[in-house]
Structure 1
């Protein structure tokens, strides 16, 4: 009886330890953070090399990043909001909005899987970009909101194995559901 009891206590201890470790080492994140806190330095360097040609230095760590790695997801997805926090200088913003980028780890560096300009000026309580629990080709589906004149539109984009592509566009009611 003593042996079984120790075995049961030992098994329970291992189960609790595994659960605590899984929770503590979770790579999921539910909100945007400063890129310098969440994005790998190699990724920030790659973004600078691929997207910036300004002679003035840009503090890439002050951009915002969202690391998504849901269960059953094939690789972590790094979404980058290129707006530089607390800066007048916004090198990746223009008339079309600001660049939003998505990367996954690749064979050599990081592979670009999402690259679009989004206008951040939306009605109150409207998410510019959100992540769903639905996976397509191993990565989560994204929902984007944009205004076309006064019409609020919802775009659903999904990973096609190479890149994110628009799956649906919904015109929302003027009350901005």
Structure 2
């Protein structure tokens, strides 16, 4: 339980675009164990928003593999593709608050201009496009973490797989949610 009496939530969110590997198994087992130790909830979310690569047979294999590992999760499973309107509404709200900006940097651009690296050695996005007012068409939409922190009056951080995300991409230029 958290200090405020709410239960902590742990989730495992694989993409059904291939079979699970040992890293997935480790992550799922870790989250499941943490949820049990903390008296929290363990949720399963299927990241099936990339409809070009998501396959039903891979999703079925996810359930089979997790059951084989002895894991169980709260129902219902949240499938991202069933909630696209929710995400679109959230993006609209973030945009209205001035928290999104367009970014046209490729991975190669980021690698050339980055001065820092994450824990895995990948280059950190240096904020190249922030404040440039670039057109939205064909651009990635990033969350402006500095503005978000100012809005909430405190620190805002985003970690994914142990990596600090400096300015997460919330929607890719091809209109896929990220």
* TM-score normalised by structure 1 residue count: 0.24
Between structures 1 and 2, the one with greater helix share: 2
